[in-house]
Amino acid sequence: MPEETQELDARGLNCPLPILRTKKALKDLGSGDVLKIVATDPGAVKDFEAYASQSGDELMEHSEDNGEYTFYLKKA
């Protein structure tokens, strides 16, 4: 697992809120910083893949465990 700079708890939020909160959190981070996001919305997997390809931020890793999805995004 990458070492995160900050963590965002997006559990219980449905699309598009996990992405919107992520965008807001990334504004406060510097280039190369890593944001860890924990979400429960199954649609978040596709949302974060699409977000990373459009934003230029790197989706370093993602996993699912017991209905919780964890993402590591590295700010460009």
CB atoms within 10 A of CB 48: 22
Q: Which of 13, 15, 17, 60 is catalytic?
A: 15
Quick one: tokens of 7? 């963590």
To the query of whether residue 15 is one of the catalytic residues in this protein, the response is yes
- Phi, psi of 62, rounded to the nearest 5 degrees: -150, 150
Question: Catalytic amino acids?
Answer: 15
